[in-house]
Amino acid sequence: MESIYYVLSWACHRKCKHCYDDRFRPYVRDALESVVVEGEQAYARIIANLPERMTYRDLDARNAQGEPEEKIGRIVLSGGDVLVDPVRTRILYPAMEAITRKYRDQGGVRIIVQTTGDLVTPEILDDLLARGMWMISISGMDDYHVGLEGDKKLPLVAHLKDLFARRGIRKSGYHAPVMGWADEEGPVYDMFGANGEEWIGALWPRGRSWLNGLSKATFSDNFCNGWSGGLHFLDHGHAGSEVSIEPNGDVYPCCLKSASPLGNLQQEALVDILDSLAGHPAFEAINMGHPERMGLSFGWDTETFYEKSMRENPKGEIQGHLCFGCDAFHREVLSKVIADLRAQRLSEKGVRSYAG
């Protein structure tokens, strides 16, 4: 697999108005303990059910024998903010150690720690490096993050660059979202945010971004057909493959989250779930980055899909987006298909399942 986006916990120290999931927010006392325990109890099983090797074959890069090169894939550990206490000590650190152990003798893995930026300290950076961090991805560099608007972010950027330089963490030669990171040696850093020129600049029509009427996404913004979307999610042996995982192990073809998870990694191996979906026309359409074609075999022509993709936004305007059609198709058709496939997998003898 080239990339896995793993949300370790819903806890965050911020409640940004543009956030793509309203579960990312501050939690206190029992509520904080509850979201921490959710991720803490799940990570070991989830990691055990990830692919045996986190490598992928790049068909465009050939070795001396003319075979596709095997490259090292990435696991992005994200929140919320994974540096929030006690997510950092009770989930992030042990998860990094478990991932490093699992892939040390299996071709390796690139661990990316994604964080807003303002919680980074020298001690935390040292802890992350000691646990094999390949990249720190600073994701809060935009005007939506309170206190980081415009030039207000510059002191933080300068401070972080100084911390990184003192530890030999170089600026990545690439900028998210890209393929080909496997070729770069760490430790490196990258900084991005929800800025107009970024691939997420239109804001996903999800979570608080949608509820606050901030997403400007239209049909032209086919997020499915790129990184973070459903593109290539089934192609787990090859370049471009990516899935996202929630703290409880639910797995999705995209970071935007389809309306039903494909399965749960506390119960089943990721590869078994993906292989059971390969060849199914709806999932193949998502895999091709063309969600409008997911219902063709079920009586949903593309015009029907586009009609179902219209939704009234909180400002009272009609807004069209392919992810809404995907949501509707899941509600009306695909969620039942997913549930049936899952029941079939679990009932079949010989299906690998860590939970047994």
DSSP conformational letter for 214: -
Host H or E run for residue 77? strand 74-78
Residue 66, Cβ neighbours under 10 Å: how many? 6
Among 51, 117, 132, 140, binds ligand SF4 (CB under 6 A): 140
Q: Determine, following the binding rule CB under 6 A, whether residue 326 of this chain makes contact with ligand SF4.
A: yes
Which residue stretch of 53-61, 273-281, 307-315, 319-327 sits at the interface with ligand SF4 (rule: CB under 6 A)? Answer: 319-327
Q: Please give the residues from 278 up to 317 whose contact with ligand SF4 meets the rule CB under 6 A.
A: 286, 291
Identify which of residues 156 and 256 has a Cβ nearer to ligand SF4 in the complex: 256
319 phi, psi to nearest 5 deg: -125, 135
Convert residues 31-70 into a mask of x (bound to ligand SF4 by CB under 6 A) and - (unbound).
----------------------------------------
Among 4, 7, 8, 19, binds ligand SF4 (CB under 6 A): 19
Instruction: Report the distance separating Cα 83 and Cα 79, nearest Å.
Output: 9
Cβ of residue 261: shortest distance to ligand SF4, in angstroms?
11
Among 229, 261, 263, 295, binds ligand SF4 (CB under 6 A): 229
Convert residues 157-196 into a mask of x (bound to ligand SF4 by CB under 6 A) and - (unbound).
----------------------------------------
227 near 254, Cβ under 8 Å?
A: no
Q: How far is CA 338 from CA 131, 258, 262, 264, 268, in A?
A: 37, 12, 6, 12, 14
Identify which of residues 109 and 200 has a Cβ nearer to ligand SF4 in the complex: 200
310's tokens: 């219209």
The full length of the chain comes to 356
> Nearest to residue 295, comparing CAs of 310, 278, 280, 274?
280
Instruction: Report the distance separating Cα 6 and Cα 46, nearest Å.
Output: 10
Identify which of residues 173 and 281 has a Cβ nearer to ligand SF4 in the complex: 281
Cβ of residue 220: shortest distance to ligand SF4, in angstroms?
14
Q: Please return the burial class of 47, using the count of CB atoms within 10 Å of its CB with bins 0-12, 13-18 and 19+.
A: buried
Q: Determine, following the binding rule CB under 6 A, whether residue 246 of this chain makes contact with ligand SF4.
A: no
> Nearest to residue 238, comparing CAs of 70, 87, 354, 25?
70
**How many chain residues bind ligand SF4 (CB under 6 A)?**
24
Q: Determine, following the binding rule CB under 6 A, whether residue 322 of this chain makes contact with ligand SF4.
A: yes
Among 4, 135, 138, 256, binds ligand SF4 (CB under 6 A): 256
- Residues forming contacts to ligand SF4 in the complex (CB under 6 A) are 12, 14-16, 19, 24, 79-81, 116, 140, 223-224, 229-230, 253-254, 256, 258, 286, 291, 322-323, 326
